[in-house]
Structure 1
Amino acid sequence: MTIGSPSRATRVSRVAVYCSAVCCSAVCAVGAPAIASSPEGARLSVEAGAQDAKAAQEPPSLYRPGTQVRPRAGAPRVPRDVSATSWLVADVRSGEVLAAHNAHRRLPPASTLKTLFALTVLPTLPAGLRHTVEREELEGIGAGSSLVGVEENRTYRVADLWRGVFLSSGNDAVRVLAALNGGWRTTAERMQDKARALGARDTRVVSPDGYDAPGQVSSAYDLAVFGRAGLRNAEFAEYCATVTAKFPAGGWAYDIQNTNRLLTGTGVARYPGLIGIKNGYTSNAGNTLIAAAERDGRTLVVTVMRPRAGGGFAVYEEARSLLDWGFRAAGRVDAVGSLVPPRPAAAPQAGPESPAPVREEKERAAGPGWPAAGAITGAAGLGAAAVALALRFKGARLARG
């Protein structure tokens, strides 16, 4: 065993260890506060993770099967005569869902899907635009489709075509408007994007007119979302509330009437205060309906999908029962959900179309923010200083030895 000064190799090894220790300490000392204060660091919390897991295990009540309602003392009972496979009642102003039954069950929507078509295409086409229909634009209309009477080589205003959509549920009018919007497939894709933007996750668009197509589905929840959004569009609200209109036929025009029986009072009693929106029927979907009414300053929207009893008028009578219940129950039940799409937890309290989430994504994509960048820069600086100090120490020791 040799006693005395350490060898050169030993001194260099000690310097290396010293440098490593200094650098690691600097990074830990500076980086730890930044990690602890960042959202990413916060998400590492065991408590937060447990809460997230618990929330994931408890789905919102609207996703549960059966009837969902939270009555207070004295609240009226949900009508028992409603046989629909799926239905929903909501307040238009707040978006609160007062009650629902199988709200997210995916079913064929029939012509109620035309509400999503209108929400997507209305903003792109001026009402006064005149268009001469070409033969190709009327190709592909499904057998047995409802028609308003659009003819090739005839010129129509866009507003005429929209009345054909809302009043007569004309699939021929939908075809022409879709052609003006970029084509059938493009329109379906844009409708799908619009549904997602509105928070309607149950809807899959295959045929923009609502004609039966494999895989095409929606839900009572999504249809209520479309109806609520439509009432916020002045053109949509006007068209869906129109009872009768004239449809051009060259040098003359003929009368068309809205097929929503609660609005016209045809075959059933007209519902007081009804303001639209859209009905539908196919052999696969059965009867479907989105209806909105106003009473005493409150506006409600109901959706009814596929009644299982009562015949062809049942969809209207069941909507009537649900509207009556909704107006009586307002203020006496707690909401079981909302038609307003959920916001990310970290997003500011802004409207559903707020650009804030987009800005947040851009900032995340650009890299760490100033606190994190400062921590990294500071750690690097301290590490470099430590290395320089150690090398200087090493040089002095080697010079002496």
Structure 2
Amino acid sequence: MPAPNKIARRSLLAGSAAFLNVSLATPLATPLAASLVASLVTFLATPVAVAAPRPSATPPAQMSTVGGARLGQAGTQVDLGAGAPVLPKGLTARSWIVADAETGDVLAAHNAHWRLPPASTLKMLFADTVLPKFPKSTEHKVVRSDLAGVGAGSSMVGVKENETYSVHDLWLGVFLRSGNDAVHVLSAMNDGVEETVKDMQAHAEELQALDTQVVSPDGYDAPEQVSSAYDLTLFARSGLQKKDFREYCSTVRAKFPGETKKVKGKKVRGTFEIQNTNRLLSGDTDVSVYDGIAGVKNGNTTKAGATFTGVAERGGRVLLVTVMNPQKNEHNEVYKETGKLFDWGFAAAGKVRPVGELVPPKSAAPAGGQPGATAPAAEAGGGTAQGAADGGSSAKPAGASATGGSSGAGIALAITGGLLVLLSGGVFLINRRWPLPDLVRRRTPRP
């Protein structure tokens, strides 16, 4: 059945056509009148793109409780203990979360399960799904169909038709420049965009990221494509189990293959430098490289606003912070708010009671357990919840030095211990510590 707006438009079109026929048949008809009516008919006959509905201005009354009942509540959730610092002021993000990457404890959250457009942070799920399928040395010659469907105005790394690229090159393009062209080429290698979307959705469900609906593999704005701060944090935590994922997301700058040109009768292919757009990793005029940052991915689109998930380490503690859509309209605001949450998280760790947990994948859940059930730690203690007016945050990209052309000195961090389960090329903990072997991070002197 046609949509009501289409029916109304057809009625107007039919009425206008009838009016045109009658008016032209009368002696009063003039060329001007005929022109005006004809223009109206043409306008009404032209298809109009109907914009997808924007997310609601406020979080829904009921949200998912995966990871704990308090994570399904609107507003800011935190349970401060003795000596714990209060959450930073001036946070404006629609949704954010601060979690311990190893234990999975959620230290604080704000609308953690609010389903919002994810922008390019969805590329973390893309990478976690597709990266294990192709060795980094694999080479692929790009054909025109590989680049079909790349959205207008997409961020690009500069992939060219008829040029050959290694998988390593393409992943650098995905992480450093958020290149949708590189995403589409890797999707083509993975039997196409449609198959890749199915794979990503299946992997999201395996990770218990149930707020996520995948429509495009690159995070480009699309109707019904949503995720949440909670889910994005799960994607980062899973991806960081993979060595190559850690390398790519922590690389500050690298060389990327250029276009082959003829120079003095010989074919020559040069390179050009690409730099990570994650400002917590690469820095900017108003944002410094964050001390201990080690990834992961930033994003920005019209519907999503600025989004970011970052991982950082200090004093042997590894934190994950995700920020979605800060409402304060300032340059690099997402990074500034993310930095504030990282600072708070490192100062508050060990002084706050968890309000929830990052759940393990379904296949890593304890036998007979209930994956995604309310976390006992989140429900015990009877702590207070700061109101929604206190919270909202923007995210800061994370970055670090790594191999493959990145700047800065890489430092390997080996974290051991815990009951591990090998799963799909990554390691996941079961209710114990979660290691980040060889985590590469960027260190700056502390005052």
User: Common fold, TM-score beyond 0.5?
Assistant: yes
Identify the residue that residue 174 of structure 2 maps to in structure 1: 165
Counterparts of 1:2-401 in structure 2, within 5 Å, are 60-249=69-258, 250=260, 251-267=269-285, 268-341=287-360, 343=365, 346-347=368-369
Alpha-carbon shift at residue 348 of structure 1 (Å): 10
Counterparts of 1:290 and 1:239 in 2: how far apart (Å)?
A: 14
Task: After superposing the two structures, state which structure 1 stretch, 249-258 or 112-121, moved more.
Answer: 249-258
Alpha-carbon shift at residue 174 of structure 1 (Å): 0.2
Where 2:178 maps in the other structure, the secondary structure is: coil
- Structure 2 length normalisation: TM-score? 0.65
Alpha-carbon shift at residue 310 of structure 1 (Å): 3.9
Alpha-carbon shift at residue 178 of structure 1 (Å): 0.4
Q: Determine which structure has the larger helix proportion and give its number.
A: 1
Counterparts of 2:370 and 2:142 in 1: how far apart (Å)?
A: 47
Counterparts of 1:103 and 1:284 in 2: how far apart (Å)?
A: 18
Alpha-carbon shift at residue 351 of structure 1 (Å): 6.0
Counterparts of 2:124 and 2:97 in 1: how far apart (Å)?
A: 17
Letter of the 2:141 counterpart: T
**RMSD of the alignment, in Å?**
2.0
Counterparts of 1:236 and 1:223 in 2: how far apart (Å)?
A: 15
Identify the residue that residue 4 of structure 1 maps to in structure 2: none
Against the structure 1 CA distance between its residues 352 and 96, is the aligned structure 2 distance closer, same or farther, given a 3 Å change threshold? farther
Letter of the 1:155 counterpart: T
Alpha-carbon shift at residue 144 of structure 1 (Å): 0.4
Counterparts of 1:120 and 1:344 in 2: how far apart (Å)?
A: 23
Larger-Rg structure: 1
Against the structure 1 CA distance between its residues 348 and 72, is the aligned structure 2 distance closer, same or farther, given a 3 Å change threshold? closer
Identity of aligned residues (%): 56
Where 2:313 maps in the other structure, the secondary structure is: strand
Task: After superposing the two structures, state which structure 1 stretch, 297-306 or 223-232, moved more.
Answer: 223-232
Identify the residue that residue 61 of structure 2 maps to in structure 1: none
Where 1:318 maps in the other structure, the secondary structure is: helix
Counterparts of 1:184 and 1:65 in 2: how far apart (Å)?
A: 35
Counterparts of 1:262 and 1:310 in 2: how far apart (Å)?
A: 18
Where 1:167 maps in the other structure, the secondary structure is: helix
Summarize deviations over 1:284-319 as a string: whole Å, max 9, x none: 100000011110011101000000114241100000
Where 1:114 maps in the other structure, the secondary structure is: helix
Q: Is the 8 A contact 1:340 1:352 kept in 2?
A: no
Counterparts of 2:112 and 2:156 in 1: how far apart (Å)?
A: 30
Letter of the 2:117 counterpart: P
Counterparts of 2:312 and 2:348 in 1: how far apart (Å)?
A: 15
Against the structure 1 CA distance between its residues 198 and 351, is the aligned structure 2 distance closer, same or farther, given a 3 Å change threshold? farther
Where 1:100 maps in the other structure, the secondary structure is: strand
Runs of 5+ unmatched residues, structure 2:
1-64, 261-268, 372-418, 425-447
Runs of 5+ unmatched residues, structure 1:
1-55, 356-401
Summarize deviations over 1:243-270 as a string: whole Å, max 9, x none: 0000001311000000000100123111
Counterparts of 1:221 and 1:235 in 2: how far apart (Å)?
A: 23
Letter of the 2:349 counterpart: A
Alpha-carbon shift at residue 205 of structure 1 (Å): 0.2
Where 1:305 maps in the other structure, the secondary structure is: strand
Identify the residue that residue 362 of structure 1 maps to in structure 2: none
Where 2:108 maps in the other structure, the secondary structure is: strand
